[in-house]
Amino acid sequence: MRRFYSHAWNLWDDSEVTDLLDERFAFRGSLGDEVTGWDGFRAYRDKIRAAFPDFHNEILDLVTQGDRAAARLRYTGRHCGEILGIPATGTPVAYHGAAFFTARDGRLAAAWVLGDVDGLRRQLAAAQPA
């Protein structure tokens, strides 16, 4: 879990994607997109990166039991590209989310993420020119 966020996300390290994730990895991101596999995850992550080139995940709490884990997260970044239909504002944002993971054979098999998209949208809307 920690490597998933610190390397596959925060460092945008593609080699970690194939090391950490099952090739059929099922991912539902905080924006509601659902993707499958390594390329699907990379495409979602790259969509976030295009909007927030310095996007950062911070694990606030992590609970694991057997092949399952849950994390409470804080996301930060500067809005430099279109997201949620809102063009770049250049404003820094911070919002929270929760992620639920399932592992299989030592790799992450599935993740379901719920982010405070409403809070993110409010921050971006407030930064829009009047």
Q: Name the band, by pLDDT with cuts 50, 70 and 90, for residue 18.
A: very high
* Residues 72-103: tens digit of each pLDDT: 999 999 999 999 999 999 999 999 999 999 99
Predicted confidence at residue 129, as pLDDT, reads 72
CATH of the domain at 118: 3.10.450.50
Predicted confidence at residue 32, as pLDDT, reads 87
* Residues 35-79: tens digit of each pLDDT: 999 999 999 999 999 999 999 999 999 999 999 999 999 999 999
Predicted confidence at residue 115, as pLDDT, reads 94
Q: How many domains does the chain have?
A: 1
DSSP sequence for the chain: -HHIIIIIITT--HHHHHHHEEEEEEEE-TTS-EEEHHHHHHHHHHHHHHH-TT-EEEEEEEEEETTEEEEEEEEEEE--S-BTTB-----EEEEEEEEEEEEETTEEEEEEEEE-HHHHHHHHHHTS--
What range does the domain containing 66 cover?
Answer: 2-126
